[in-house]
Amino acid sequence: MLKRIRYGIQEKSSVPTKEEIDNEEVKILSNRLRANTPKETLTNILEWQDRNLKFWEERWFTSNSLRLISRLLFMCIILAFVTEVLSLTSITLIFVITIFLLLGASIPLIVNLVKKYKNVKRIIPEFRIGDTFKISLPVEKILKYRLSVCRDYAKLTSALLLNIYPNSELYSVSIPNIHVATAIKINNKMYMLDQKLPVLTLEKWVQIWKERLKKKKLKLDLIRIIKDMEGIKTKRAKYTESIGQINKIDTTKIVDELKRKLEIKEIDKGPNFKDYLEITIPLYAYLYEEDDITEFSIIESIKNRIEDELTGKIKEIYNLTINQKDKDLVLKIQLTGERNEA
């Protein structure tokens, strides 16, 4: 029973409707992100989301907090009723006090949200504070607000992919009560699109979440999303876990591609140059695979990180190296502007 309820919530919150897939704004965005190859298209989708959508922390916190408070209130009411029937007056009093405390805890939360979102409404007049408490938002509001929690990202991603690859094998992948994202099967391999670059294989995505949650095993709910003439259908699927490993990376290949993308013209390193910047990118050595899609998205992600750090100094880069340090990649960047005069 609980499993059916969980699947129902997952379907409602992270699977788009036919109307959402056919939404004009979604179609326009899909065409803009569509590229010549899957590796470029999937990378474009995650890069657009990372640059344009902000994680809606208040909605995530509020919806989870109020859900917990409502459950506790329900339990208190039931227990209070039982104790009243059994004439346990003192215990009933304790439950009544608990109810008032829970209600008192929720009121400041709501008041704070109302004050904060007055500023948001100045920018987006159509914004509704009540949406903060909703489990699922339509893609139209996701695109308008530019605020999302994981289930919104998953719904929008699925809507985009079903426009670009209407015959694809698409899945909503959920870690029950924790997280949800979207997977697409390309050339018999499952790739995860989860808010930010890089695009990962399902196996690597699972390993990362196992590390985050400090778990040896991870339970997943997979729902196949199927679009046909009648609309959207869903079907439960199974996942068999495999073991991830740390790869020995050919960093030369990554460096060469980064230099090409950033248009770095390397010059001879003289004794009067010094390292300008060192950037550690956690877990990228672990995430890396000899896979066209993953490799392309990882390189694009590293390029974006360099551009974020150096902004207008990109053209001053004269040398770039990458070393593998256990699960991490370490970038060393040197600029012509760091020459020391003798």
pTM to 2 decimal places: 0.83
User: Does one domain contain both 82 and 213?
Assistant: no
pLDDT of residue 44: 98
Is residue 315 a part of any domain in this protein? yes
User: Does one domain contain both 193 and 112?
Assistant: no
Our CA angle for 300, 303, 307, nearest 5°, is: 140
| Cα 215 from Cα 112, distance rounded (Å) | 35
User: Does one domain contain both 6 and 62?
Assistant: no
User: Does one domain contain both 80 and 16?
Assistant: no
pLDDT of residue 118: 66
Domain count, the chain: 3
User: Does one domain contain both 46 and 66?
Assistant: no
| Cα 303 from Cα 167, distance rounded (Å) | 32
Is residue 93 a part of any domain in this protein? yes
pLDDT of residue 342: 39
Which amino acid is it at 172? S
Is residue 340 a part of any domain in this protein? no
pLDDT of residue 179: 94
pLDDT of residue 340: 45
Is residue 281 a part of any domain in this protein? yes
- Which of residues 106, 133, 160 is at a domain's end? 133
User: Does one domain contain both 229 and 264?
Assistant: no
pLDDT of residue 2: 54
User: Does one domain contain both 122 and 156?
Assistant: no
pLDDT averaged over 10-residue windows placed end to end, the chain, 342 residues: 63 90 97 98 98 84 56 57 54 57 59 65 77 86 93 97 95 93 96 97 93 90 91 88 67 92 73 72 91 96 94 86 93 73 41
Report the DSSP pairing between strands 277-281 and 317-325: unpaired
pLDDT of residue 84: 54
The residues, ordered by sequence, that sit 6+ positions from 287 with a Cβ below 8 Å of its Cβ are 198, 200, 204, 208, 294, 298
- Which of residues 209, 237, 265 is at a domain's end? 237
Domain that holds residue 104: 58-133
Is residue 225 a part of any domain in this protein? yes
pLDDT of residue 60: 64
Is residue 139 a part of any domain in this protein? no
- Which of residues 105, 133, 161 is at a domain's end? 133
pLDDT of residue 228: 86
Is residue 35 a part of any domain in this protein? yes
